[in-house]
Amino acid sequence: MRFALRFFCYVLGIGLALDAFFGPCIQALLPLFKGLLTLIDSHFEVISAQVVQVGDAQVIDFEVRLAKAFWLGKHFIAVDPSGVAHASTTLMHLWQSLAVCLALILSWPGIRMHKRLLALAYGLLGTLLVWCIDVPFVLLAALWQMIYAHYAIPDFSMLTDWQQVLENGGRLILGLMVGCLAIFLT
């Protein structure tokens, strides 16, 4: 019972602190996300990437255009130099996996301080790897959904399925898995 209560308090505290104070830190990771997006799918060229405030939420916003023409089924998709699309994800989505991972490590009973610090380092590294999977694929899913919707093509995409998994609790599960792996490695 104590573990569950501590875990819940840590998740809440860490999540609120991350959302309030650490948004600008993600700015340093945007070139990494930009490079991964273009590496994963060369159909798109990232014009700009930034963290912006939209209402109450901080958002990672990518401004993207097509980099090359291609065929999609029987539709030819041509490059329009003036055509620009925006794909975004909120920072709160990223904070979910990090908050759960750190809370699990901090609330886990029976770990000595130096091992807990090592587990935190592993957790941060693991969470960064999760973000490298999360952000580019979610942004690509949004971009492909726009293309499919524009041409009225039935949308069946592994990217869309992955996006739905992440948005329906997958980020929390990934955070728990990274936290458990970090604890196990120490």
Q: Which of 121, 89, 95, 100 is CA-nearest to residue 186?
A: 121
pLDDT tens string 101-111: 999 999 999 88
Report how far apart, in Å, the C-alpha atoms of 163 and of each of 115, 141, 147 are.
34, 7, 16
Instruction: Determine the pLDDT at residue 31.
Output: 94
* Whole-number Å distance between alpha carbons of 91 and 89: 7
Rounded distance, CA 78 to CA 68, Å? 7
Q: Give the HSE-up count for residue 175: Cα atoms under 13 Å, Cβ half-sphere.
A: 21
Q: Which residue has the tokens 């990494």?
A: 32
What stretches in the chain show pLDDT beneath 50? Answer: none
- pTM reported for the whole predicted model: 0.87
Give 52's strand partners. Answer: 59
pLDDT in tens, 48-68: 999 998 888 889 999 999 888
Give one word for 112, left, alpha or beta, with left for phi > 0 and alpha for psi -120 to 50: beta
